[in-house]
Amino acid sequence: MDADTTTLSPETLRAEMVATVRKAGYARRSEVERVLLDTPRHEFVPDADLAVAYDPWQAVITHRFEDGRSLSCASAPWLVAAMLDQLDVQPGDRILEVGAGTGYNACLLAQLTGRADLVTTIDIDPDVTAKAKRALTATGYGDVHVITSDGALGYPDHAPYDRMIVTVSPWHIPAQWWKQLAPGGRLVAPLRWRGQGRSVAFTYTEGRLVSDSLHLCGFVYLVGDGEGELSGAITADELVTLHWDRDQPVDPEALRGVLDQPRVTAWSGTTIGRNESHDGLWLRLTVTDPRVCRIKVHADVPPEVCDPVRGWWRMALVDGDTLVYLTARRLESSDEVHWELGAIGHGPSADELTAYLCEAIRSWAPERKQHTPSLTVYPADTPDSELAGPAIDKTHSRFVLTYGDSTE
């Protein structure tokens, strides 16, 4: 939105927001476009400026923990649109939303299904639900059921649900969600595995959840769901930390001080454009390599100490006392800028592991835009013999990612 937003009406800003979201490839369903145009988003975030309320790329934080971490927010409009596209709400669908936020998403869901009383939104924080209820009532959608409770338990009183959407990030899929989803129903949730997060759309069929789309995203974590992802500092000042899943054999003590060891740098020869994503590489490696995790580097850490690729999400590989992470260097020609992907490693096996990561980059590069894996979620007691490939084990389920007919 390039115009002076201080003089534009909410209706004009909203139309520009939706146009931008559509141009970016979201709100593909005409119904989603319609409800985004019809809904006064600014009334759900009354403390935000109009320009912020209708910024297509910006989430609006509305509630925080005492330590400053965000507890609740209105998701960025592009992501709202993407997840509603994934959910594919049909008129008359009974819907459960886990994570009430501002009530904005519940308002959109009520319009998509056609009856506000078919929508239930649940949140563990009473301040969040109180504000969401007020906003929904003020905008004419007071019949939405706003429940204060633990979202991990779902809400059995209104089950079974034809559609379930989760707007907080769980590490696993709680057992109650399985029980409350109708056969053939759809679940959209921003799941986490191997350090990265994806909004995944599933259909519940034959006792399994089978995905048909995945979007890169980041969300506030589901409260009480932190036991699945572990973390630990690997520097004395605790400015560099690793994050990994509970089923991965990562020992942060074995890596304390690893960045003080000699650096090994290798380059893949693979380049990406200025606005081209490399996140598919990470996703691909989660299918094939159980060593993949995430490295978090504080802004105060100089690049000579740790220099990962830019972005909020930084991929790493851990093998015992060796750490390797993805990096990039700027390459300029006369008319454009590219970034070459590479690997930086520290530890006894750094040479081998950096070479391995560069080869993985080269293998991914030729078909980087063509292939996305399918994620199938099985109940936790499913034996290996009934799985389509190697499993990532969660508390209540087993995740299996596959490409086509094989796990590559």
Q: Provide the annotated active-site residues.
A: 72
| CA dihedral angle for residue 295, residue 299, residue 305, residue 306, rounded to 10 degrees | 30
Q: Give the single-character DSSP code of 87.
A: H
Q: Where are the alpha helices (DSSP H) in 2-103?
A: 10-23, 30-38, 50-53, 77-87
Instruction: Give the pairing type, strands 315-319 and 322-332.
Output: antiparallel
CB 242 within 8 A of CB 318: yes
Sheet bearing 374-379, strands edge to edge: 145-148, 119-123, 95-98, 161-166, 181-193, 196-205, 208-216, 374-379, 397-402, 392-393
Estimate the crossing angle of helix 104-113 against helix 77-87, to 10 degrees. 30
- Provide the 3-class DSSP secondary structure of residue 162: strand
CB 305 within 8 A of CB 315: no
CB 93 within 8 A of CB 162: yes
Give dist(CA 181, CA 78) in Å, integer: 26
